[in-house]
Amino acid sequence: MTGKTKIHESQPAGNPPIADQPVNPLLEQAQAAEGGGPPKPVDMRSMPKWLRVFGYSFLAAFFLLVLLLLVSSVLT
The whole model's pTM is what? 0.45
- Between CA 25 and CA 22 the distance in angstroms is 6
- Between CA 71 and CA 76 the distance in angstroms is 9
For 16-75, give the DSSP string: PP--SS-SSGGGHHHHHHGGG-SPPPP-GGGS-HHHHHHHHHHHHHHHHHHHHHHHHHHH
Rounded to a whole number of angstroms, the CA Rg of the chain reads: 24
Contacts of 22 (CB under 8 A, 6+ apart): 28, 31, 32
Q: Which of 16-20, 28-32, 35-39, 61-65 has the highest mean pLDDT?
A: 61-65
pLDDT exceeds cutoff 80 at 55: yes
pLDDT tens for each residue of 59-73: 999 999 999 999 999
